[in-house]
Amino acid sequence: MGAKTEKLLAVLKLQPVVPVLIVEDVASAVPLARALVKGGLKAIEITMRTEAALEAVSRVAQEVEGAVAGAGTILNPAHFAAAVEAGAQFIVSPGTTQELLDTARKSDIPLLPGAATASEVMALRQEGYQVLKFFPAEQAGGAAYLKSLSSPLAGTMFCPTGGISLKNAKDYLSLPNVICVGGSWVAPKDLVARGDWDGITRLAEEAFALTA
């Protein structure tokens, strides 16, 4: 197992649920991340879907003790480079391109690449990846589909993301090939908007307590 795989596993094993955040207002990034860390969720994926995202990664990386800031929705080499420069400690992509894989190969920062089919998983295995994001999890076939991959593609571990909630997280976490899940439910827009950080900490504690 390569050093970058070990580095990625160390991040993903911190908790059963990785918060997937869309940060609209950079001012909320630090208190939101602190609330999540307080509840036990240290690895935090901030998606590059808003203008505030890169600054949010930077602030969380610099200002939130205990947080492991990651960047998600990385679509191309320029995204990858910008996220790493901002301080991202892990990179997540919804799918993969050869250009993205080439960029990741040259970086010390680990990539969690997305895959939704057996062929995509096989292609990424050939590139040396043993830990993948299964996305979009529910829409691509859910826990039953992922379970069916566990035997023919043994040795590959997944972080399913997409459509996962407190209700179905255990369905995934009980699978032998799932290391953790990604979810946005731990940071609901309404709680973030009104700055209910205690409420988010409670959701984080509930998510941290999830086991198979």
In a domain, 211, yes or no: no
Q: Could you tell me if 50 and 22 are in contact, meaning their C-beta atoms sit under 8 angstroms apart?
A: yes
Give me the pLDDT at residue 212, please. Answer: 52
Q: Which residue has the tokens 């062929």?
A: 119
CA distance 106 to 109: 9
Peptide bond into 77 cis (omega under 30): no
Give me the pLDDT at residue 211, please. Answer: 77
Phi-psi domain of 17 (left: phi exceeds 0; alpha: psi -120 through 50; beta: other): beta
In a domain, 62, yes or no: yes
In a domain, 212, yes or no: no
CA distance 79 to 83: 6
Question: How many of the other CB atoms lie within 10 Å of CB of 146?
Answer: 20
Tell me if residue 18 falls in helix, strand or coil: strand
In a domain, 21, yes or no: yes
Which CATH number is 139's domain given? 3.20.20.70
DSSP at 28: G
Question: How many of the other CB atoms lie within 10 Å of CB of 132?
Answer: 25
- Count the domains in the chain: 1
CA distance 113 to 133: 6
Instruction: Report the catalytic residues.
Output: 45, 133
Q: Could you tell me if 189 and 21 are in contact, meaning their C-beta atoms sit under 8 angstroms apart?
A: no
Instruction: Please give the torsion angle defined by the CA atoms of residues 132, 121, 95 and 53, in that order, rounded to the nearest 10 degrees.
Output: 0
DSSP at 161: B
pLDDT at 33 over 80: yes
In a domain, 114, yes or no: yes
Give me the pLDDT at residue 6, please. Answer: 96
| CA 107 from centre of chain | 18
Q: Mean pLDDT across the stretch 35-60?
A: 98
pLDDT at 109 over 60: yes
Closest CA to 41 of 186, 148, 166, 196: 186
**Which is higher by pLDDT, 1 or 7?**
7
Give me the pLDDT at residue 37, please. Answer: 98
Each residue's pLDDT tens digit, 145-172 = 999 999 999 999 999 999 999 999 999 9
Q: Mean pLDDT across the stretch 120-146?
A: 98
CA distance 70 to 43: 7
Give me the pLDDT at residue 2, please. Answer: 86
Percent of the chain surpassing pLDDT 70: 100
Orientation angle between helical segments 53-63 and 77-86, nearest 10 degrees: 30
Please name the residues in contact with 119: beta carbons below 8 A apart, sequence gap of 6 or more. Answer: none
User: Domain residues for 119?
Assistant: 3-206
